[in-house]
């Protein structure tokens, strides 16, 4: 059979399913990985749609494309793809990409620790991977600068009323609300449908009512919502549920009040939360912050130094976590396939 596209990938999870494309994509132009990401977005967005939509993907999934590094200090580059955006950085995906590179031999593994640099669209990310018996048992990376963009705002959310929120940048802009504002809501898998409804409404209202900006990424706004709550786990400090929308949120259309809850503890979301806590004087430097996912997985973050992003005080965070390889796949696109970009159906997806 002659295929229009043939894509080779490694399937991983860190709670969240994260696909890593290792072959089948031709040269992506650009002088930096950020420029390559923008080229892909403008010239080959079919790759993202094909890999993340049905029949090859589903709402709670991310995808990464490994590319040759552009910076001389980097061992590899990677481009992150999600359902509504190309994030410049993602923590869970960084952990998965590092794991794939080492466990497949694309980067030589040194036990007990392998150190190297990845080039994300956001810049260089230092990796320290703990390795044993050919397996990556933990990945720690130093993230880009995180900061609190908006503190203690109150927004008017349809069907919910007034909701107090913060906005933090950890590689994406997160609107963060304390789940205690919704007394009957639990951050557990069984309440997933209500978590997505509430989170989507908060996200849509925040996008309309709050203005944010990043000096390096003009035009990027709030794209993710995070609910934060206490945990009964003595090994964790907070529990979170992050909603990754699978389409634009329309506050007048209940069919769009959905998406995929991040199954991992969310690396950039953890960084955004730590930056907000630091801005409020609640999280000092060099203090481990153990963030628990809706499934009980934990990423451990730490703020290692202060810095600035433009005129805004910021912090440099680290994140540590683990990912697991679940399979090796070859995906094809038949030239007669009536859905070359994949498809979405309103039973699972946000539809506008």
Q: State the DSSP string of 147-165.
A: EEEEEEEEEEETTTEEEEE
The Cβ of residue 185 has, within 10 Å, a number of other Cβ atoms equal to: 17
Distance CA 79, CA 335 (A): 26
Distance CA 333, CA 331 (A): 7
> CA distances (Å), 233 to each of 7, 190, 238, 293, 302, in order?
40, 18, 9, 11, 19
Are the CB atoms for 21 and 64 separated by under 8 Å?
A: yes
Are the CB atoms for 321 and 95 separated by under 8 Å?
A: yes
Are the CB atoms for 129 and 139 separated by under 8 Å?
A: yes
- Output the six-digit token pair for 38: 């923008």
**Residues whose CB falls within 8 Å of the CB of residue 198, separated by 6 or more in sequence, listed in order:** 160, 182, 185, 227
Are the CB atoms for 53 and 341 separated by under 8 Å?
A: yes
Distance CA 311, CA 315 (A): 13
Distance CA 243, CA 147 (A): 20
Q: Is 264 a catalytic residue?
A: no
The active-site residue out of 90, 96, 228, 293 is 90
The active-site residue out of 228, 266, 271, 293 is 266
Q: How many residues does the chain have?
A: 352
Q: Is 90 a catalytic residue?
A: yes
Q: Would you name the residues annotated as active-site residues?
A: 90, 266
């Amino acid at each position: 059979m002659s295929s229009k596209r043939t894509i080779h990938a490694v399937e991983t999870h860190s709670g969240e399913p994260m696909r890593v494309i290792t072959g089948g994509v031709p040269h992506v132009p650009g002088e930096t990985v950020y420029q390559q990401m923008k080229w892909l977005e403008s010239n080959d967005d079919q790759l993202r749609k094909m890999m993340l939509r049905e029949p090859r993907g589903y709402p709670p999934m991310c995808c990464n494309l490994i590319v040759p590094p552009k910076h001389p200090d980097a061992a590899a580059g990677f481009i992150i793809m999600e359902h509504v955006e190309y994030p410049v950085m993602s923590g869970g995906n960084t952990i998965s990409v590092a794991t794939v590179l080492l466990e497949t031999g694309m980067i030589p593994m040194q036990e007990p620790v392998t150190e190297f640099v990845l080039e994300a669209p956001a810049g260089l990310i230092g990796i320290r991977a703990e390795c044993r018996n050919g397996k990556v048992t933990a990945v720690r990376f130093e993230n880009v600068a995180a900061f609190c963009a908006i503190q203690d705002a109150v927004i008017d959310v349809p069907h919910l009323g007034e909701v107090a929120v913060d906005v933090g940048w950890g590689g994406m802009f997160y609107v963060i609300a304390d789940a205690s504002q919704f007394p009957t809501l639990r951050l557990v898998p069984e309440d997933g449908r209500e978590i997505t409804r509430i989170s989507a409404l908060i996200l849509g209202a925040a996008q309309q009512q709050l203005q944010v900006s990043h000096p390096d990424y003009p035009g990027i706004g709030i794209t993710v919502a995070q609910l934060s709550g206490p945990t009964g786990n003595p090994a964790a400090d907070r529990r979170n549920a992050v909603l990754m929308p699978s389409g634009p949120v329309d506050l007048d259309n209940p069919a769009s009040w959905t998406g995929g809850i991040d199954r991992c503890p969310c690396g950039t979301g953890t960084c955004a939360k730590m930056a907000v806590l630091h801005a409020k004087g609640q999280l000092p430097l060099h203090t481990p912050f153990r963030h628990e996912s809706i499934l009980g997985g934990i990423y451990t973050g730490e703020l290692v130094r202060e810095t600035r992003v433009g005129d805004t005080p910021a912090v440099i965070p680290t994140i540590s976590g683990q990912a697991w390889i679940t399979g090796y796949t070859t995906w094809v696109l038949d030239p007669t396939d009536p859905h070359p970009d994949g498809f979405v159906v309103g039973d699972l997806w946000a539809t506008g």
